[in-house]
Amino acid sequence: MRILFIGDIVGRSGRTIVSSRLPGLIGDWKLDLVVINGENAAGGFGITEAIYQDLLDAGADAITLGNHAWDQKEALVFIERAPRLVRPLNFPAGTPGRGATIVEARNGARVLIVNVMGRIFMEPLDDPFAAVDRELLACPLRTGADAIIVDIHAEATSEKQALAYFLDGRASAIIGTHTHAPTADQRVLPGGSAYMSDVGMTGDYDSVIGMAKEEPVSRFLRRIPAARFEPAGGPATLCALAVETDDATGLARRVAPVRLGGLLAEARAAFWE
């Protein structure tokens, strides 16, 4: 199976490159599944129902969230009628929406999408290790799902790596999001799971993690907010991870970073070219 996971979309710039490039990538690379982290898609803060639908129309099969899940208050309501929108699994019981969902890939495979949030330097949520463990016990790879994608939305690389090794061999891909800077550690772990500490953001990199530079720099200098954070509006880089899995096992065969457009050096999934 050919899977593309696209990192955190930030604002209009990120949405524009996804809508313009993703349909072509699906055709050119014969992608079976596309997952997008969309928690910064609406002006850098949260997601709206209209944007959710636009991303599905562009070719996304599932959209994951993170710590900005509820910044757009309408998300608390529309997530209940958005079966392919996945918020962190380890939010407290009773939180609207779902932390995992099964989608059908273009090749007919059943894929479990899980979103979980870290706790180091972030909100004190429920234990992410226990939460994902329960989910994968209930829907194991091969017998419950043909492939499993886990989005770890976390600040600390150590927490992402520890969770990845804890889950190695039980998921097709374990992918870090949230820090908005792509790491260079993509690989297949010993147990067969694809991994990358952070896939990076899909947005304008002439920025401070996707925000126009002036206000973040001013706050670091003066410690006083002067204006709202606004997404940078220049050309975006689409950052993603390409994963190819073995249909017999559901585990990863090969993995590659993808960076297209904008300021960062281009990287492509050469094994699909």
Domain boundaries, the chain: 2-272
Q: Is 68 a catalytic residue?
A: yes
Among candidates 37, 56, 58, which has minimal Cα distance to 46? Answer: 37
Q: Select from 3.40.228.10, 3.60.21.10, 3.40.50.300, 1.10.3720.10 the CATH code of 2-272.
A: 3.60.21.10
pLDDT of residue 76: 97
> Looking at residue 72, what is its pLDDT?
97
Q: Please write the tens of the pLDDT for every residue from 140-171.
A: 999 999 999 999 999 999 999 999 999 999 99
Query: Which is it for strands 2-6 and 238-245: parallel, antiparallel or unpaired?
Result: antiparallel
- Determine the average pLDDT of the residues in 243-267: 98
Summarize pLDDT for 183-221 with one digit per residue, the tens.
999 999 999 999 999 999 999 999 999 999 999 999 999
Structure tokens at 122: 């972030």
Residue 82's pLDDT is: 98
Share of the chain above pLDDT 90, in %: 99
Q: What's the pLDDT score for residue 124?
A: 92
- The per-residue pLDDT for 30 is 98
Catalytic residue among 68, 153, 178, 180: 68
Mean pLDDT of the chain: 97
The pTM score is 0.97
CA–CA gap between residue 229 and residue 178 (Å, rounded): 17
> Which segment of 36-45, 219-228, 238-247, 254-263 scores lowest on mean pLDDT?
219-228
What is the per-residue pLDDT for 105?
Answer: 98
pLDDT of residue 7: 98
How much is the pLDDT for 18? 98
- pLDDT for 42: 98
Q: Which of 36, 71, 32, 15 is nearest to 151 (CA)?
A: 36
Q: In angstroms, rounded to a whole number, what is the distance separating the alpha carbons of residues 194 and 171?
A: 8
pLDDT at 211: 96
pLDDT, residue 147, reads: 98
> What's the pLDDT tens digit per position in 78-131?
999 999 999 999 999 999 999 999 999 999 999 999 999 999 999 999 999 999
Which tokens in the block code for residue 67? 């710590």
Mean pLDDT for 35-46 is: 98
Contacts of 245 (CB under 8 A, 6+ apart): 1, 3, 147, 172, 173, 194, 251, 252, 253
Q: Are 36 and 48 in contact (CB under 8 A)?
A: no
pLDDT at 177: 98
